[in-house]
Amino acid sequence: MSVFVTGANGFVGRAVCAELRLRGTTVIAAMREPLPSDADAVRMPDLSPESDWAPLLTDMGVACVIHLAARVHVMNDRVADPLAEFRRVNTASTLRLARQAAAAGVRRFVYVSSIKVNGEQTLLGHPFVARVDRAPSDPYGQSKFEAEKGLAAVARETGMEITVVRPPLVYGPGVRANFLSMMRWIKRGVPLPFGAIDNRRSLVALDNLVDLLIVCSEHPAAAGKTFLVSDCEDLSTTDLLRRIGLALGKPARLIPVPPAILTFGAALAGRADIARRLCGSLQVDVSETRSVLGWQPVVDIDAALRKTAAAFLSGERV
């Protein structure tokens, strides 16, 4: 039997497929544009409510689907109705895939959701737990929340096992977006006004997320559960930047500007969202993940940062 991975050429998807292969699992890597060298790859349908996944699922003995493909959070969305587009791609197409997977006899469906289902921020020392009582206001998070609810209904209707994983920020070799920007700032020796931020944020290293997803694809106790995931060590923005600097061999040049001034300045510049992420806390409670699955991170933060930094430095030299 095989594991069917959507979004297989993405940041997380590539790593999931590689680790599954290392463990001797047969992989069907669904991606938009397979290369001739991708021996176990298939062309993935467009993410829409009309997509036909059945031929890929029925003929290949799929035991488990790990669904990573999604329309991701967009900072400056140019779509006229972002919520409708997120719902079309992240909600309706996910439920279409799940129903066709159930019809094809797939045993388990692992859905990679987002911590944005819980929200954008926590009070210090009050982490998110898996239970969510209402939909988030963010369109991306709302589409993921609605997909989770729809998948629970699919499970009740069909008996297919559903497992949901909600990661926070994921980092590792090949990371992009804000994490990549931070590494570039530090490598270039740019002075950063983030030396006095006493928040706490949960992160998850790519290796840790990949390991948990594979555990969730196999573990009997994962059926019907929602799990949060992190490296099990929450960092302040200040500490994260310092430890990135150590990993890069280039100490971070941090100026201790009070967070209130940073927040005020960001609001004046119309970037209050950036200040919230830099100065606010976002913690997740992974105690249930650890107790139910017996799961522990396979790599600690500093080792993961060194691996991320080495890949970054290697790429920068190319």
Q: What is the mean pLDDT of residues 41-61?
A: 90
Asked if 171 is an active-site residue, the reply is: no
DSSP-assigned states of every residue in 108-152: EEEEE--GGGT-S-B-TT--B-S---S--SSHHHHHHHHHHHHHH
The 3-state secondary structure of 4-33, one letter per residue: EEECCCCHHHHHHHHHHHHCCCEEEEEECC
Give domain limits for the chain. 2-166
The residue from 11, 86, 109, 140 that is catalytic is 140
Q: Which residue type is seen at 281?
A: S
How many CA atoms within 13 Å lie on the side-chain side of 246?
Answer: 11
Encoded amino acid at 191, one letter = P
Per residue in 191-218, pLDDT tens?
A: 999 999 999 999 999 999 999 999 999 9
pLDDT-above-70 percentage for the chain: 97
Residue type, 224: G
CATH annotation of 2-166: 3.40.50.720
Q: What is the pLDDT of residue 184?
A: 97
- Give the least confident one: 33-42, 63-72, 149-158, 245-254: 33-42
Instruction: Give tens-digit pLDDT for 100-146.
Output: 999 999 999 999 999 999 999 999 999 999 999 888 989 999 999 99
